[in-house]
Amino acid sequence: MTEPDSGATPQDAAAAAPPRNEFVATLARWGMVIILVGAGLNLVLAWQSIGPGASSALDNVAPVWLVIAAVLGITPWFFIAGRIWMWAGFLGCPISFRDALRTTAATELTSSISPKAIGGAPAKIALMIDSGVRPGRAASILMLDNIADAVFFTAVAPAIAFSTARWRVPEVQEVLLRVIDKLGVVAPWVAGAVLLIAATAFIWRRRSATTASRGGKLSRALAKIRLDFLSAYSLVARRGKLHSLAAIALTTGLWLCRASVATAVIYGLGQQADPVLFFLLQWVVFAMMVFVPTPGAALGAEASFAAILDGFVAEGLLGVLTAGWRFFSFYLPLLFGLVLMPLLSRKRADG
């Protein structure tokens, strides 16, 4: 009599694991395409912009500052992973920092092949769920991270502009006026959304028990997701004030790094710059990139950067600076992610 087969064959195991491997492979393929095309365009831009001013600057390159630019470009990923790791633990779904970093890498790589307004939200939620975070909690963490980014762009950065008197720069004034206008337009909608969420939460709470008892597995699962999502904000309101401040601090750190890359590049070209002013100008660039519809804000990011920093850079250096900024703030982190993502996935699978 033939013994029943109690174990899976290698083919079965390979068939069971592909989702994660397929996801990593797809990100790698598209990421490599984005990097090659973008890096090629950057080289063309840099080559065409080399004039007498650029040639003399290239003779005074300071490699240490270019290394600092590379570090500033990659460091934000660790701040983002820190936020995910912190919120997951606080909301009762603790994950390792490695899984948080894996989620960050997948989010940033996915964001590079989608418009900035969409970003890598689907990948972020999927990877958090894969790491053990409940779906409702994962959606809550996504929203909490978005709220922290919004607080930085609409409150922290403008506060820096006003406290340092850099708000007098016309480009900074323009974006501050845009932020004020946006807040005026958005405020009624935000108030309405809060009321709608409160009303929906009240109705869901009253019906959750009925839905769970009457419905099948799907209804109970959806009720659980809704409860997890809404209860997360109640928990944050009760016991998460310090965590919220920590999230804003981590968010400020990541944007300080990301919006200081061009400052390091300009120093690397042997030029001088006002670090605070350059930080605020790059804040303007990143704020404008949200509205660029191309994947990873390709071309639009470079155009915005060149338009805003033109006049603050020595003649002949704008193209080289733009190419260097885009490489260190975007393409180099993508290369880092393409190397990091398979390593983190493999370690997790082996563990």
pLDDT per residue over 214-253, tens digit each? 555 555 555 566 666 666 777 888 888 999 999 999 999 9
- Phi-psi label, residue 204: left if phi above 0, alpha if psi -120 to 50, beta otherwise: alpha
Both tokens of residue 221?
Answer: 């699962």
* Beta-bridge partners for 115: 295
Residue 41: which pLDDT band, with cuts at 50, 70 and 90?
A: low
Q: Cβ(108)–Cβ(333) under 8 Å?
A: yes
Q: CB within 8 A of 270, min separation 6: which ones? A: 57, 59, 60, 61, 62
Q: Which amino acid, one-letter code, is at 120?
A: G
Among candidates 199, 235, 260, 285, which has minimal Cα distance to 88?
Answer: 235
Q: Model pTM?
A: 0.75
Higher-confidence position of 82 and 126: 82
Both tokens of residue 121?
Answer: 């939200």
- Mean pLDDT over 339-349 rounds to 70
Per-residue model confidence (pLDDT) at position 89: 93
Measured CA angle at 269 (ends 316, 296), to 5 deg: 80
Q: Which amino acid, one-letter code, is at 159?
A: A
For helices 121-131 and 18-49, give the axis angle rounded to 10 degrees. Answer: 140
Per-residue model confidence (pLDDT) at position 13: 40
Per-residue model confidence (pLDDT) at position 25: 57
Q: Which amino acid, one-letter code, is at 264?
A: A
Mean of the per-residue pLDDT values for the chain?
Answer: 75
